[in-house]
């Protein structure tokens, strides 16, 4: 878990980044705190042709079919209010209200791809439900697959490739989670409190019997 601004590791449940003090309030101040109405495919920058949009849309629908709890959304446009692309992705997934996503799939189960044609960069952001199952490395692999297409301006094809790659990773994770759900639960479980640690230590002490030695006068 990292801060979207300073990309430093932060602890679970941190209300602000302990390193740079970043929080969503900062982004709300830039972009607004109200919900933003969007569709899953929001080609605001107009990077895709209408026929290509159909292909991307069907790829997004396929993702939704295979993963009935989740959805994948694409936003193309620049973060005009300032901040880097990670911060913008973080803000957008928290503030977006997706019109074409059923209510049983909240944003916690969403994955958002943001493509910024101005800074020529792309990023992935995901909701809390996916925290145990996705890593930054996974998203890097997906983006690397799409990189060649993005480089040539074939954004639709790149997006479809990215969605397919992410689907492969998630299929694997779903199978692993079915076999060993605790492994993933541990990743997001709340850290033990300080008193709990002390109690464990005391219990440990109690369990080990004290050896008594006889002293012969």
Partner 1 sequence: MKGQGLVWILSAGLAVGAVKPSLPEWSAADKTALEKGELVPGLLLLGQDAPAEETAAPAQAQVPQPTPEELVEKEKASTEVPEQYLEAYFGERPTSFLVDPQGLLSTKDERDRESFLKYHAGDSHVDLYVYLFDGHQSIPSEVREEEIVERFFSEGKPAVAVYYYLGAPQKSDIYVSPQLSDSVSAVEQRRALISSVEEALEKPDALAQFEAFCVQLSIRIYWMERAAGLVTEEVAATPLPRRTKSQEPAVKETPEMVARAKEWGLHYGPSAGIIVGAILTVAGGIAFARSRARYRFPVFEVAPRMGGAHAAGIGAVISFGSTTQSPSSQRNDVPDYLGL
Among 75, 82, 67, residue whose Cα is nearest residue 129: 67
Q: Binder to partner 1 among 44, 54, 136, 202 (CB under 8 A)?
A: 136
Nearer residue to partner 1 within complex by CB, 9 or 44:
9
Q: Residue 71's beta-bridge partner residues?
A: 110
- Give me the 62-101 binding string for partner 1, x by CB under 8 A, dash otherwise: ---xxxxxx-----------xxxxxx-xx--xx-------
Find the helix or strand (DSSP H, E) in which 42 lies.
strand 41-43
- Give me the 172-191 binding string for partner 1, x by CB under 8 A, dash otherwise: -xxx-x---x--xx--xxx-
Q: How far apart are CA 1 and CA 125, in angstroms?
A: 12
- Give me the 6-35 binding string for partner 1, x by CB under 8 A, dash otherwise: xx--x-xxxxxx--x-xxxx----------
Which whole-number Å values give the CA distances from 54 to 50, 57, 59, 97, 111, in the listed order?
A: 7, 5, 9, 21, 19
**Binding segment for partner 1 among 40-48, 52-60, 119-127, 199-207 (CB under 8 A)?**
119-127
State yes or no: residue 122 binds partner 1 (CB under 8 A).
yes
Q: How far apart are CA 23 and CA 41, in angstroms?
A: 27
Strands (E), 44-84: 71-76
Minimal distance, residue 201 CB to partner 1, in Å: 25
Nearer residue to partner 1 within complex by CB, 97 or 201:
97
Q: How far apart are CA 113 and CA 159, in angstroms?
A: 9
- Give me the 188-207 binding string for partner 1, x by CB under 8 A, dash otherwise: xxx-----------------
């Amino acid at each position: 878990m990292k801060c979207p601004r300073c990309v430093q590791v932060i602890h679970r449940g941190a209300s602000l980044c302990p390193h740079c003090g970043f929080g969503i309030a900062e982004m709300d101040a830039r972009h607004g705190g109200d919900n933003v109405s969007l569709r899953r495919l929001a080609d605001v920058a107009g990077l895709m042709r209408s026929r290509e949009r159909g292909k991307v849309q069907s790829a997004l629908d396929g993702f939704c079919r295979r993963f009935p709890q989740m959805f994948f959304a694409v936003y193309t446009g620049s973060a005009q209010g300032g901040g880097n692309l990670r911060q913008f992705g973080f803000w957008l997934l928290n503030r977006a209200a997706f019109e074409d996503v059923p209510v049983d799939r909240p944003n916690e189960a969403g994955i958002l791809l943001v493509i910024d044609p101005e800074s020529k960069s792309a990023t992935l952001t995901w909701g809390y439900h996916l925290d145990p199952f996705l890593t930054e490395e996974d998203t890097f692999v997906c983006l690397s697959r799409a990189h060649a297409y993005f480089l040539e301006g074939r954004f639709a094809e790149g997006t479809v490739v990215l969605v397919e790659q992410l689907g492969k990773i998630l299929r694997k994770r779903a199978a692993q989670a079915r076999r060993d759900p605790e492994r993933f639960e541990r990743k997001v479980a709340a850290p033990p409190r300080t008193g709990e640690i002390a109690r464990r230590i005391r219990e440990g002490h109690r369990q080990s019997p004290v050896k008594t030695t006889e002293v012969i006068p």
